[in-house]
Every structure is written in structure tokens, then in C-alpha cells.
């Protein structure tokens, strides 16, 4: 991964905290109970980036990570942080 360890650790901390406060989020995605779920081609990618957004990381990602990373790098980090979801709808 190209992401700096300190940045990965920060993202993980924020996302882990968010998912502890909202433990139902993975099952909501697995069951397709979210906006435009019928249009999703890759549920794991959608889930990862939505969790990043819902956790409030978007401004930080834009100001900190996009200076040296692009979406593929960020997605790699998110896949390691976020739980796996399986499409059940």
C-alpha cells in the first residue's frame, strides 16, 4: 500500500469507531436497503466508500490523501479496514 501508516491508522480508527456506533450498517448493505442499491455493480467498493463518507472522512481524504494517492490506493486501504459484505439481494 502506498498510504502512510499514520494515515491508514487514522482512517482505521475513525471507521472502526463509526462501525461500533452503527453495527447495523454492514447488514443494511448486504440486504440492499440503501439508495440506488439496484444500480450497484461492486457492493464491496460501494460499501467501503460510503462508510468512508458516513464516517466523515471525505474532507480529510481530500485535503490529506489526494495529495499523494488516488482512488485505487484509497480503495486498497479501505478494503483492509472495512468488513466484507456479501450481496444477499
1: confidence class by pLDDT, cuts 50, 70, 90 = confident
Does residue 25 sit within a domain? yes
Note the pTM of the prediction, 2 decimals: 0.94
Total number of domains in the chain: 1
Whether residue 52 is contained in a domain is answered as yes
What is the spatial distance between Cα 15 and Cα 2, in angstroms, rounded to a whole number? 19
Q: 41-49 contacts: CB < 8 A, separation 24 or more?
A: 43/85, 43/86, 43/87, 44/79, 44/82, 44/84, 44/85, 45/75, 47/82, 47/85, 48/75, 48/78, 48/79, 48/81, 48/82, 49/75, 49/78
Range of the domain at 56: 5-81
Q: Is residue 86 part of a domain?
A: no
pLDDT digits (tens, 9 = 90+) for 14-40: 999 999 999 999 999 999 999 999 999
Amino acid at each position: 500500500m502506498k498510504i502512510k501508516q499514520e494515515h491508514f491508522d487514522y482512517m482505521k480508527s475513525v471507521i472502526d469507531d463509526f462501525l461500533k456506533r452503527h453495527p447495523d450498517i454492514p447488514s443494511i448493505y448486504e440486504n440492499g436497503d440503501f439508495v440506488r442499491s439496484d444500480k450497484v455493480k461492486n457492493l464491496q467498493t460501494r460499501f467501503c466508500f460510503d462508510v468512508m463518507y458516513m464516517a466523515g472522512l471525505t474532507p480529510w481524504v481530500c485535503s490529506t490523501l489526494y495529495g499523494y494517492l488516488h482512488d485505487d490506493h484509497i480503495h486498497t486501504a479501505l478494503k483492509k479496514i472495512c468488513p466484507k459484505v456479501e450481496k444477499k439481494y
